[in-house]
Amino acid sequence: MPALVPRPTQAAFRPGHFSLDDDTALHIGAGAEPAADLLRTLLAPATGLALPRSPEGQFTLALDSALGHLGEEGYILSVDPHTALLRAAHPTGLLRGIQTIRQLLPLEALSAIPRPGTRWLLPCAEITDIPQHPWRGAMLDVARHFQPVSYLRRYVDLLALHKISVFHLHLTDDQGWRMPVAAYPKLTEIGGHRTQSQTGPAGGDAFDGVPHGGAYTRAELEGLVRYAAARGVTVMPEIEMPGHVRAALAAYPRLGNHPERALDVWTRWGVCDTVLGVHDEVLDFCRTVLDEVMDVFPSPYIHVGGEECPTTEWTHSVAARERAVSQGLADPEALHGWFLARIGDFLVGRGRRPIGWAETGAELPLDFTVMTWRDPAHTLTAARRGHPVVSAYHRATYLDYAQTGGAHEPRAQPGPVVDLRAVHAHDPVPEDADDRAAGRVLGTQTQLWTEFVTTPAHIEYLTYPRLCALADRGWSGATDWADFSSRLAEHTARLDALGVERHP
């Protein structure tokens, strides 16, 4: 059996192959055109095959409403020596099946340059494949260290190969604002640039003295969304609030609690005490920003951060204390929930689903989907409270932690070692969850915070092969470690063929 990552739900392989060659044509059913386009796009560089459309095509791509039990992402791939048939109930299922076909073909099919003389053979097989969890995500922080959109497209390609469904793009933070907003041009003009970066952990005093900055254009982000959608990946934006906003306050101090103070874009790591004010102009600002975000990103989920928000400024602000009293809140600290409830109501009113980081699992408004990261117990707390939950437990999904304890590893976020086995072993559903709570767990995702990650090569070194483990667990459910590690040993040859700068 070929070593597929993630592992299919059911797979039976038989002797023989179906050969793709210059005579191979595609029989494309109604609605299957995007999958055919993706197949051609992915195979053309190495194979040179045109794969023209023909009613007599030997390779069929078809949507079949009778396959509704496969869900949105499931598919069936049937291959014999004379025909290949890929079927699904939904176009996304066909896109997932295309990635399986890529893995079944010879390694050379992954090449970006022509590979003449290679026989493009698909093994005869019957594969039925349905994901265990709908949310299999990967978060990349481009606020701490900006990456060009050309690399984000490559990042998406690698996610799609592993059937990752959500690309969580962390666009704003204390150290940088990367999302253009027409009504607030200083967000990127000023907030997109810092004078230097801290070189050690939070709390230290070592800096590199090197300016850092960058921002995307609206056209670049819209293009990225289309590129990802063509590969079955949803780009979910994150705009932090009401904390982690120092870059925005450097651009527009009046949005803070001390409008008379000039602020810089933060050059340190850690948690910054400066947060948004709670006056009406701030809420109008957030709504305007989120309106533009929703124009660019059709994602059903909009992430608004919400975590690590110090309330010291609100406690000392006359305006914030008055706001707390006028809203009947017990104290200024309660403004955190009040603020996010206003933002959540706004997003729900626009037909979107608010999502945020949960510190305890019980502090976000009830209409929020929550990402729990501190403790698996918080996943159970949130699910029992009625929230849809994505498990992002830091000891199993944070890729900025070191992969081994070896001195040869690059600088990592202070914290535990998160090795390949820890990622693979993490079950997003808490052990004590009843069926109702378990049903509210959407899935899991990796996180890569980039305080110490500056280059694409470093991103890939930290991401692979650990993301393979999360992809396998999220799609296939619990798989035996020996089985996974055996498949991964072969799968790393695919990563190498794609030029991935992976951890050894």
Determine phi and psi for 15, rounding to 5 degrees.
-60, 150
Flag residues of the chain having pLDDT under 70. none
Which residues does 363 contact at the CB level (< 8 Å), separation at least 6? Answer: 336, 337
pLDDT digits (tens, 9 = 90+) for 55-72: 999 999 999 999 999 999
> Which residues are CB-contacts of 221 (< 8 A; sequence separation ≥ 6)?
149, 179, 180, 296, 297
Query: Among candidates 448, 443, 423, 318, which has minimal Cα distance to 383?
Result: 443
Annotated domain spans of the chain? 10-129, 135-497
Residues labelled as active-site residues? 173, 244, 308
pLDDT at 252: 98
How far, in whole angstroms, is CA 399 from its chain's centroid?
Answer: 13
Q: What is the pLDDT of residues 154-172, one digit of tens each?
A: 999 999 999 999 999 999 9
pLDDT, tens digit, for every residue of 435-487? 999 999 999 999 999 999 999 999 999 999 999 999 999 999 999 999 999 99
C-alpha to C-alpha distance for 155 and 307, rounded to whole angstroms: 26
Beta bridge partners, 136, equal 444
**Residue 369 to residue 389: CA distance in whole angstroms:** 6
The DSSP letter of residue 293 is: H
Residue 2's pLDDT is what?
A: 87
Assign domain 135-497 to its CATH superfamily.
Glycosidases (3.20.20.80)
Any residues with CB less than 8 A from the CB of 33 and at least 6 apart, and which?
none
pTM exceeding 0.95: yes
Q: The domain 10-129 belongs to what CATH superfamily?
A: Chitobiase/beta-hexosaminidase domain 2-like (3.30.379.10)
Among 488, 482, 397, 494, smallest CA distance to 448 is for 397
What CA–CA distances, in Å, run from 95 to 77, 88, 468?
12, 9, 18
What is d(CA 451, CA 449) in angstroms, rounded to the nearest whole number?
6
